[in-house]
Amino acid sequence: MPKFDAYFLMKSADAAEFARARLGLFAPGAQLEHAEIGDGNLNYIFRVRDPASGRSVVLKQAGGTARISDQFKVSTDRTRIEYEALKIENELAPGLVPATYGYDPVMNCCAMEDLSDHVIMRAGLLQRQRYPRFSDHITTFMVNTLLLTTDLVMDHKRKKEQVGRFINPDLCEITEDLVYTEPFDDLRKRNDPFPPHRDWLERTLYQDEALRLETAKLKLGFFNNAQCLIHGDLHTGSIFVRPDSTKVIDGEFSFYGPAGYDVGNVIANLVFAWANADTVMDDAGGRAGQTRWLEETLVEVVEGFKRKWKALWRERVTESTARTPGFAEWYLDGVLADSAGVTGLELCRRTVGIAHVKDLTSIASPPHRIRAERLCIDMARRCIQERARILSGEDYLELLRWAAERHPRPA
Ligand code: SR1
Ligand code: MG
């Protein structure tokens, strides 16, 4: 039987052979360079390159369990979902996602543009880089992909078909457990709080009944609100950047869910970058410059999102009942409240849960890491509890400043 007619988990040499045999991108005799370059929690990522022609491709292959832990059994159908989401995103937000070159349902493998001239945004921010086009690009990506896949714009029957194509139970379950449940109830005993302040984290997150009630309500929205096609994991590790370019990757968590899930992830991950810079950078001038840029970016993300959403709403919404006076404002306020709630959830789960972020874990000094984590958690709790009134970029900055003042930088 030909090599790629039955599924197996590839090594990088297999990926090169697959690229040559199945993609038609390389000459038959080309001497291909190949490497496995993935460092995410779930998949295997290969870069295959022909140094003679300069052509290259990235192959993403799904295994039956997550890389981070065999505990997570995850359907390989997620690669199809990512491929189909990429095609839609390429249409709705051109230039803001990698080009796709094909999908193989047997090998559960998707071929896409090599973005080696970009860096993962989280890594770039930790090196104190700034990305002046990011807020403009990411708000266009979010508004176009989210609003244009709602019932307010799409043909309703077509939208229901699409909801079906994007049913993504295994990946949704990961989010339901890791984001909505376990940060507030370590029922599977797999949380991983930073030991020196484990007691503080557990007391603050697991024993606050009022907070847990609000997270239960938010989880219901994630279960039931098939609002639009969301990316589902839009943190700074899922975004490639250059100063002049932004490319959203890793859409395997895509499904029809609440729009605010994507917006809240972007905001929370800017807060992680801020907490790292403000806590770690010793040089006062450099620190002020980097944190100011992050604050401005956060405000531009929220305000740009609102501005572009309203403009696209006027242009593209066709649902007749949406013209009812007051409806547009009510709908956007709901998306913003969900965004604030998810900001809080993401801040909590990356701190206490199993899937951490380098913005926090790379802080070597325990008192500094504790300070960064506590400011994130305190801001998070208010984002969840007060989400209905958090409607502007300035509202987030007020909470960030409040939390930072409660937890001053260690000397
Ligand atoms: C088991 S996967 C853990 C996390 O990694 C992904 O990037 C998602 O954020 C998920 O929650
Ligand atoms: Mg990912």
Q: How far is ligand 2, taken at its centre, from the CA of residue 138, in Å?
A: 17
Contact yes or no for 107/4 (Cβ under 8 A):
yes
Whole-model pTM? 0.97
Max CA separation in the chain (angstroms):
66
Amino acid present at 193: P
- Which residue, judged by its Cα, is nearest atom 9 of ligand 1? 233
Contact yes or no for 298/375 (Cβ under 8 A):
no
- Which residue, judged by its Cα, is nearest atom 4 of ligand 1? 355
- The pLDDT of residue 279 is above 80: yes
Portion of the chain with pLDDT greater than 70, in percent = 100
Residue-wise pLDDT for 188-226, tens only, equals 999 999 999 999 999 999 999 999 999 999 999 999 999
- What's the Cα-to-Cα distance from 322 to each of 12, 92, 149, 257, 334, rounded to whole Å? 51, 21, 15, 19, 14
Q: Which ligand is nearest to the CA of 251?
A: 2
Supply the mean pLDDT for the chain: 97
- Would you state the pLDDT for residue 89? 98
Q: How far is ligand 1, taken at its centre, from the CA of residue 355, in Å?
A: 6
- The pLDDT of residue 296 is above 90: yes
Tell which atom from ligand 1 comes closest to the C-alpha of 42.
2
Q: Pocket residues for ligand 1 (CB within 6 Å)?
A: 40-42, 66, 68, 72, 174-175, 178, 233, 355
Orientation angle between helical segments 284-316 and 393-406, nearest 10 degrees: 150
Cβ-based neighbour number of residue 28 at 10 Å: 6
Residue-wise pLDDT for 40-79, tens only, equals 888 999 999 999 999 999 999 998 888 878 888 899 899 9
Residue-wise pLDDT for 111-150, tens only, equals 999 999 999 999 999 999 999 999 999 999 999 999 999 9
Confidence of residue 318 (pLDDT cuts 50, 70, 90): very high
Tokens of 214: 């609000």
- Would you state the pLDDT for residue 114? 97
Residue-wise pLDDT for 358-411, tens only, equals 999 999 999 999 999 999 999 999 999 999 999 999 999 999 999 999 999 998
Q: How far is ligand 1, taken at its centre, from the CA of residue 348, in Å?
A: 14
- Would you state the pLDDT for residue 39? 82
Q: How far is ligand 2, taken at its centre, from the CA of residue 199, in Å?
A: 30
All residues with CB under 5 Å from ion ligand 2: 40, 250
Contact yes or no for 4/20 (Cβ under 8 A):
no
Give mean pLDDT, residues 79-94.
97
Contact yes or no for 265/342 (Cβ under 8 A):
yes
- Cα separation, 61 vs 35, in Å, equals 13
Q: Which residues contact 234 (CB under 8 A, 6 or more apart)?
A: 142, 248, 261, 262, 265, 266
- Cα separation, 146 vs 75, in Å, equals 25
Tell which atom from ligand 1 comes closest to the C-alpha of 69.
1
Give mean pLDDT, residues 12-33.
92
- The pLDDT of residue 1 is above 80: no
- Would you state the pLDDT for residue 72? 87
Confidence of residue 29 (pLDDT cuts 50, 70, 90): confident
- Would you state the pLDDT for residue 61? 94
Q: How far is ligand 2, taken at its centre, from the CA of residue 205, in Å?
A: 25
- Would you state the pLDDT for residue 289? 98
- Cα separation, 31 vs 2, in Å, equals 21
- Would you state the pLDDT for residue 67? 83
Give mean pLDDT, residues 2-17.
93
- Which residue, judged by its Cα, is nearest atom 5 of ligand 1? 41
Exposed e or buried b for every residue in 121-157, given b needs 16+ CB within 10 A?
A: bbebbbebeebeebbebbbbbbbbbbbbbbbbbbeee
Q: Which residues contact 144 (CB under 8 A, 6 or more apart)?
A: 92, 93, 312
Q: How far is ligand 1, taken at its centre, from the CA of residue 376, in Å?
A: 19
Pocket of ligand 1, candidates 39, 42, 347: which has the most ligand atoms within 8 Å of its Cβ, to mutate? Answer: 42
Tell which atom from ligand 1 comes closest to the C-alpha of 250.
7
10 Å CB burial of residue 397 (0-12, 13-18, 19+) is middle
